[in-house]
Structure 1
């Protein structure tokens, strides 16, 4: 039980800015349970987004513009910019057009390059557009929970199944302790949560199924892309994956509403 609680705390310490000051002992059990709790961190974020959105819509007169900006801003606040940092590092490395080894060195560099700034501006700008127009056309609160859940669940799977770019770093430290049963654990959670959403919100059956499929396609494509461009996954690529998937899923919802589905 101590290892399970330790894994939960470690997961929240890594993926959120929640003020958890307790020191967690690092071992194979706490590391394993930490990754298993990645989807829970996504559900927590999604739940907070849904509650805030509902309160703002029903008890304030704020505009759709403000709502969109808040839905864009709060996940960055919740994660402390961790995933955006990975997106920016990967952007600098990718657009350097160097070999894999040099790209890994660029990702490890703490300095921010021009391509990182340009890419993050367009990433957030397009996500804001998709959120704003989706809100304008109406959407179900379940999507606010589903998007961060899917991004962090498939991030856990990518950490488990992706090819490691190097034998050191955050990704390698977790991967050392992961087993096949952990993969099945995440898959079970994914299927169970998606099924519960479909049962609870049957009118959104197609949309929920499409979002799950889109996230899976991103997982497959990203695994191949990171292996080709960077030699495999690192902590930065995992963070980049979360940001990319969430933008893609908002784009998917935007397309559904654009075509009146």
Structure 2
């Protein structure tokens, strides 16, 4: 139990901006639980966003236009901007149209290129649009927890199943001590949380569709990452999380727009 708790705290330290004032050893047992808890860390970020949204809704404060912008940036800030940085690095590398080796070098470069900026603006613009349209239809606040939960569950599967792009970096450090069993744990914990969503007002059909879409995205991302970048890296995982969240909010918008129509 202590190892599980330390792994959970390590996940919060690494993947969120929640202040955890404790030194936790980076060892096999803790890293295994860190990987298992990655989706739960995402769910916690989403739960905080859901609380803010529910509070605003109850007091009829401001408008969906403002809520969408605030909730968009709250999620990125709570993740420390780590995944957005990965998305920018991957965008710079992908749009360079170079070979795999050169793309890996570009992702390792700390400089930010024009394609990175333009891609992030495009991504966040679409996510803001999906959020805004979804909020206008009155989506259940629990969906804010479901989206980052599923995106990180997909990232854990990708980490476990994909070939590593390089022997160093975040993905390599996580894979060194984890295996498919830890991914199975993460997916199992994700399913348990998903089963609670209908009690929070999210229709079971919506939960099933979101889970299916994320599963398809994960399956498609593996061969794409291996072809374009030689495999999975920390940047690829971050890009997958950011892109996955945008896709899921697009699906939520389509589902609720169809229901309202």
Pairwise same-fold verdict (TM > 0.5): yes
**Pairwise CA RMSD:** 1.4
Q: Distance in 1 between matches of 2:145 and 2:183?
A: 22
What residue number does 1:165 align with? 165
Q: Distance in 1 between matches of 2:111 and 2:179?
A: 35
Q: How far did residue 139 of structure 1 move?
A: 1.2
Q: Distance in 2 between matches of 1:192 and 1:140?
A: 18
For residues 75-101 of structure 1, give each alpha carbon's deviation from its aligned partner in whole angstroms, at most 9, with x where no partner exists.
111011100000000000000000111
Q: Distance in 2 between matches of 1:114 and 1:71?
A: 26
Aligned residues: 260
Matched, 1:26 2:26: yes
Is the partner of 2:14 in helix, strand or coil? helix
Matched, 1:196 2:207: no
Q: How far did residue 192 of structure 1 move?
A: 2.0
Q: How far did residue 43 of structure 1 move?
A: 1.5
Q: How far did residue 156 of structure 1 move?
A: 1.5
What stretches of structure 2 of length at least 5 have no aligned partner?
Answer: none
Q: How far did residue 195 of structure 1 move?
A: 2.4
What residue number does 2:244 align with? 245
Is this contact kept in 1: 2:45–2:148, CA < 8 A? Answer: yes
- Of 77-86 and 251-260, more deviation after overlay is shown by 251-260
Matched, 1:131 2:131: yes
What residue number does 2:156 align with? 156
For residues 195-215 of structure 1, give each alpha carbon's deviation from its aligned partner in whole angstroms, at most 9, with x where no partner exists.
2324x2577122111001011
1:139-154 alignment runs, 5 A limit = 139-154=139-154
Q: Distance in 2 between matches of 1:201 and 1:30?
A: 31
Normalising by structure 2, report the TM-score. Answer: 0.95
What stretches of structure 1 of length at least 5 have no aligned partner?
Answer: none
Is this contact kept in 1: 2:40–2:149, CA < 8 A? Answer: yes
Q: How far did residue 4 of structure 1 move?
A: 2.1
What residue number does 1:49 align with? 49
Q: Distance in 2 between matches of 1:186 and 1:21?
A: 25
* Alpha-carbon distance change, 202 to 130 in structure 1, aligned in 2, over 3 angstroms: closer
Q: Distance in 2 between matches of 1:91 and 1:146?
A: 26
Normalising by structure 1, report the TM-score. Answer: 0.95
Matched, 1:122 2:122: yes
* Alpha-carbon distance change, 62 to 112 in structure 1, aligned in 2, over 3 angstroms: same
- Of 150-159 and 82-91, more deviation after overlay is shown by 150-159
Q: Distance in 2 between matches of 1:32 and 1:77?
A: 25
Is the partner of 2:83 in helix, strand or coil? helix
Q: How far did residue 36 of structure 1 move?
A: 0.8
For residues 194-247 of structure 1, give each alpha carbon's deviation from its aligned partner in whole angstroms, at most 9, with x where no partner exists.
22324x257712211100101111111111111110011000001001000000
1:1-261 alignment runs, 5 A limit = 1-198=1-198, 200=199, 204-260=203-259
Is the partner of 1:260 in helix, strand or coil? helix
Q: How far did residue 60 of structure 1 move?
A: 4.6
Q: Distance in 2 between matches of 1:244 and 1:89?
A: 13
Q: How far did residue 70 of structure 1 move?
A: 1.1
Runs of 4+ in 1 over 4 A off after TM superposition: none
- Of 140-149 and 244-253, more deviation after overlay is shown by 140-149
